[in-house]
């Protein structure tokens, strides 16, 4: 494994029972970079995050994170590796019955022996980094969608992880919140010296903040490159995705017989 890469995925296959999801995937995630994984719904993006985190094991190939083969780790070693990862789930997934403060403090209390006074200071610093120090006493139900996503981001970076993974971080956000979250992802990655993987459908916001993009379709990598290369891609699926075209490799019409034959057939009947 190259020292330049935090993650290397090598010739990986994965299926849910007899339903293939990923076929022959190979990619590398450089240290310190923000990398986006894009593609249509159901192409295997979130599955790839689960394989990196060790929730799933591939049928073939390998997932190497910081020099360790994730599928080969025992439970204790996998648990130790996960402590060095942060995860922002789609829609935040905050604990609804505890305050903003306790959501962010949870990992510190669970995984460290730090005194409560130091945990308090660290939680307030993380919340300050996402602009919500003044909201630390609020409950999740009192937060807007954008605020909840920022609290989830503060929780994801609570232990200063080496790797931060985001599953659709922009889903359901208004344009202001979307822009705020995008800039926070970029700034926090650089400030922490971390590496970021972002699964997203939001092409325009992502192209403003990422260093590199992998495009997936039907369980395979179909295009890769920096934002300028992706914008200029001649691949039909990538072009349709980037420019939000209604028809292309992903058709507008669900498969059906020709309209004329159906109408004439009914008329004749």
Which SS3 state, helix, strand or coil, does residue 144 take? Answer: coil
Tell me: do 179 and 260 sit in the same domain: yes
The answer to whether residue 218 scores a pLDDT higher than 70 is: yes
In CATH, what number is assigned to the domain containing residue 196? 3.40.50.300
Q: What is the mean pLDDT of residues 66-87?
A: 90
Higher pLDDT, 269 or 247: 247
Choosing from 160, 193, 212, the residue where a domain stops is 160
Query: 50-61: buried (b, 16+ CB within 10 Å) or exposed (e) per residue?
Result: ebbbbebebeeb
For residue 187, being part of any structural domain is answered with yes
For residue 90, being part of any structural domain is answered with no
The answer to whether residue 185 scores a pLDDT higher than 80 is: yes
The answer to whether residue 269 scores a pLDDT higher than 50 is: no
Choosing from 143, 160, 177, the residue where a domain stops is 160
Tell me: do 104 and 145 sit in the same domain: yes
Alpha-carbon distance 246 to 120, whole Å?
Answer: 50
Alpha-carbon distance 19 to 53, whole Å?
Answer: 21
Burial-class residue 255 by CB neighbours within 10 Å (0-12, 13-18, 19+).
exposed
Task: Residue 47: name the closest of 28, 74, 19 by CA.
Answer: 19
> What pLDDT shows up at residue 211?
93
pTM for the model: 0.81
For residue 70, being part of any structural domain is answered with yes
For residue 115, being part of any structural domain is answered with yes
Tell me: do 134 and 211 sit in the same domain: no
For residue 93, being part of any structural domain is answered with no
Mean pLDDT of the chain: 84
For residue 26, being part of any structural domain is answered with yes
Tell me: do 218 and 137 sit in the same domain: no
> What pLDDT shows up at residue 244?
64
pLDDT 10s digits, 105-136: 988 888 888 899 999 999 999 899 888 888 89
Tell me: do 43 and 169 sit in the same domain: yes
Burial-class residue 172 by CB neighbours within 10 Å (0-12, 13-18, 19+).
middle
Alpha-carbon distance 229 to 215, whole Å?
Answer: 12
Tell me: do 66 and 176 sit in the same domain: yes
> What pLDDT shows up at residue 252?
62
Tell me: do 148 and 184 sit in the same domain: no
Higher pLDDT, 189 or 251: 189
Range name among 26-30, 145-149, 173-177 with the lowest pLDDT average: 173-177
For residue 94, being part of any structural domain is answered with no
Residues whose CB falls within 8 Å of the CB of residue 113, separated by 6 or more in sequence, listed in order: none
Tell me: do 198 and 257 sit in the same domain: yes
Residue found by looking up tokens 């971390």 in the block: 194
Tell me: do 57 and 169 sit in the same domain: yes
pLDDT 10s digits, 49-68: 899 998 889 989 999 999 99
pLDDT 10s digits, 223-245: 888 888 877 777 776 777 766 66
Which SS3 state, helix, strand or coil, does residue 25 take? Answer: strand
- CA 66 to mean position of chain CA atoms: 18
Domain extent at residue 116:
99-160
For residue 144, being part of any structural domain is answered with yes
Tell me: do 192 and 212 sit in the same domain: yes
Tell me: do 128 and 250 sit in the same domain: no
Range name among 9-13, 23-27, 119-123, 202-206 with the lowest pLDDT average: 202-206
Tell me: do 126 and 180 sit in the same domain: no
> What pLDDT shows up at residue 179?
84
> What pLDDT shows up at residue 268?
47
Structural domain total, the chain: 2
> What pLDDT shows up at residue 232?
78
Choosing from 160, 178, 212, the residue where a domain stops is 160
Q: What is the mean pLDDT of residues 212-219?
A: 85
Burial-class residue 253 by CB neighbours within 10 Å (0-12, 13-18, 19+).
exposed
Residues 159 and 83 sit within 8 Å (Cβ to Cβ): yes
Number of neighbouring beta carbons within 10 Å of residue 212: 19
């Amino acid at each position: 494994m190259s020292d330049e890469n935090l993650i290397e995925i090598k010739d990986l296959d994965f299926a849910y029972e007899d339903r293939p999801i990923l076929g022959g995937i190979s990619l590398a995630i450089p240290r310190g970079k923000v990398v986006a994984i894009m593609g249509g719904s159901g192409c295997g993006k979130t599955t790839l995050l689960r394989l990196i985190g060790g929730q799933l094991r591939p049928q073939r190939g390998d997932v190497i994170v910081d020099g360790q083969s994730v599928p080969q780790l025992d439970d204790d070693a996998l648990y130790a590796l996960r402590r060095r990862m942060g995860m922002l789930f789609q829609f935040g997934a905050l604990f609804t019955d505890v305050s903003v403060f306790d959501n962010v403090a949870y990992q510190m209390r669970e995984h460290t022996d730090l005194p409560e006074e130091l945990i308090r200071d660290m939680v307030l610093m993380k919340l300050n980094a996402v602009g919500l120090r003044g909201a630390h006493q609020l409950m999740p139900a009192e937060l807007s969608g954008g605020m909840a996503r920022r609290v989830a981001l503060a929780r994801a970076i609570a232990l200063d992880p080496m790797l931060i993974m985001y599953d659709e971080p922009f889903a359901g956000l208004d344009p202001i919140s979307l822009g705020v979250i995008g800039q926070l992802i970029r700034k926090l990655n650089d400030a922490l010296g971390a590496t970021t993987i972002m699964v997203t459908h939001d092409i325009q916001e992502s192209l403003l903040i990422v260093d590199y993009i992998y495009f997936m379709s039907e369980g395979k990598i179909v295009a890769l490159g920096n934002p300028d290369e992706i914008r200029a891609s001649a691949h039909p699926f990538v072009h349709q995705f980037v420019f939000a075209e209604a028809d292309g490799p992903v058709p507008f019409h669900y498969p059906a017989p020709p309209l004329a034959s159906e109408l004439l057939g009914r008329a004749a009947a």
